[in-house]
Structure 1
Amino acid sequence: MRESYNEQLDSVRSDLADMCRMAEEAMASATTALLTADLALAEETIDSRGQIDLLATDWEHKAFSVLALQAPVALDLRIMVSGIHIVADLQRMGGLAIHIAELARRRHPAHVLPSEVEAVFAEMGRVAVSQAESTREVLLTRDPELAAKLQTADEEMDQLHRSLFVLTSAPDWPHGVPAAVDITLLGRFYERYSDHTVEVAKRVIFLATGEFRSEDS
């Protein structure tokens, strides 16, 4: 009985890592579609929503089954309760990547991004994918030190996000309001994606140490 219970716990941890991998792949392909106006890749990214949502639903069913039938205590209970929050963050990460792909599809065959901001978004995509990769490792290892390092990458994303405001609010911005609106919206998607990786990291730190740091701490 205990061996079966441990297998269930290992399974839910592995499923969280799989969800993170899907969100990571969605962000990578969404960014490429955005930078290249690749309609087929944008469509493929959008279609991945179903897989992410299905895995999230399956995970929640497994988690509630463990809570109802196994009565976990202490660390095991923290795993299940924290996992419910982590699933929500991972699902939102996937959704944000899909929003990027949807905007690339909506503007096709035109490119969404003016040349002035392409390098910024390429870097934002790189940072986001790197954060998701680190988040996946954190979920598998539950390493609180690695989890804490994700906040540094979040600061890098914040700096990139701020640089977009500098570019689009400059008096000599030549592309008008519609382009500025698209860029602002896309920048927000990347920033929120990054924020969710930090939230996952905080949950993992809670799992490892029993302490949860709020946004203000």
Structure 2
Amino acid sequence: MREVYQEQLGELAEELASMSTMVGTAMERATKALLEADLELAEQVIEDDVQVDEARARAEEHAFGLLALQAPVAGDLRTVISTIHTAEDLERMGDLALHVAKTARRRHPNAVLPPDVQPYFAEMGRIAVKLAGRARTVIQTQDVDAARGLEEDDDEMDDLHRHLFTVMMSPEWSHGVAAAVDVTLLGRFYERFADHAVSVARRVVFIVTGKMPNS
């Protein structure tokens, strides 16, 4: 029975790892749609978001099933409870990619971003995809050092996000209020995506050590 139970926990981790891949792909495509005003790609991200929602539902159903049938204790209980919270974080990452795609669709055929901020969003998109990939690896390996390493990428994202405000507050900003609002909201979407990836990594640390890292 114990061996079967461990297999079930492993399957649960793989479900979360798969979600990490899904949300990373979603943000990669949403960023491309944003930068290139690609309506077809934006629509694909929007349409595929239901798959992330369904994956969260399956992971939660699996986790609650283990709680009900196996009555886990100690470390196993941490794993199951953390899985439920991790699935929530990953679904939220998918929602943030969805928001980016919807912004691209709403402004189509016009470009959303002024040329002078496009490089920032290209880099933020790259970091977001990297974080989703690293979250997947951490979920699969339960490598505490790798989990803690996500904080560095999050710091890069935060620096880019802060610099966007410097650009928009510059006297040289000539793109108007509407563009500034779009840039502000989009920057926040990427920042929150990174924050949720870090939250996933922190939950892995909690599973392994029994202690939640400080925020």
TM-score, length-scaled by structure 1 = 0.97
In structure 2, what is the Cα distance between the partners aligned to 1:76 and 1:38? 45
2:46 matched residue in structure 1: 46
Name the counterpart of 1:25: 25
1:214 aligned counterpart, secondary structure? coil
Q: What is the identity, as a one-letter code, of the residue corresponding to 1:149? A: G
CA distance in 1, matches of 2:34, 2:175: 17
Q: Are 1:191 and 2:191 counterparts? A: yes
Distance 1:50 1:162 in 2: 32
Structure 2 segments unaligned to the other structure (5+ residues) = none
In structure 2, the residue matched to 1:144 is: 144
- Aligned partner of 2:153 in structure 1 is 153
User: Partner residue of 1:171?
Assistant: 171
CA distance in 1, matches of 2:208, 2:134: 16
Q: Aligned AA for 1:45?
A: V
CA distance in 2 between counterparts of 1:21 and 1:33 reads 18
- Tell me what 2:110 maps to: 110
What residue in structure 2 maps to residue 37 of structure 1?
37
Counterparts of 1:44 and 1:187, CA distance in 2: 21
Task: Provide the C-alpha distance between the structure 2 equivalents of 1:153 and 1:44, rounded to a whole number of angstroms.
Answer: 27
* Runs of 4+ more than 3 Å apart: none
Q: Distance in 1 between matches of 2:172 and 2:10?
A: 55
For residues 103 and 55 of structure 1, what CA distance do their matches in structure 2 show?
24
Q: What SS class does the counterpart of residue 72 from structure 1 fall into?
A: coil
2:89 corresponds to: 89
For the residue of structure 2 that corresponds to 1:115, the secondary structure is coil
Q: Secondary structure at the match of 1:116?
A: coil
Per-residue deviation, 1:172: 2.1
Deviations 1:127-150 (A, max 9, x none): 110011101000000000000000
* Cα displacement string for residues 4-59 of structure 1 (whole angstroms, at most 9, x for unaligned residues): 22221111010000011100000000000000000000000011111000010011
What are the ranges of 5 or more consecutive residues in structure 1 without an aligned counterpart?
Answer: none
Identity of counterpart residues, as a percentage?
A: 53
How far did residue 157 of structure 1 move?
0.3
Does the residue aligned with 1:50 lie in a helix, a strand or coil?
helix
Determine the structure 2 residue equivalent to 1:205: 205
**Structure-2 separation of matches of 1:93 and 1:141:** 21
User: Matched residues in 2 for 1:84 and 1:183: separation?
Assistant: 32
Q: How many residues are paired up?
A: 215
Aligned to 2:79: 79
TM-superposition CA deviations, 1:156-211 (whole Å, max 9, x none)? 00000011101111122110000000000000000000000111111111111111
In structure 2, the partner of 1:181 is 181
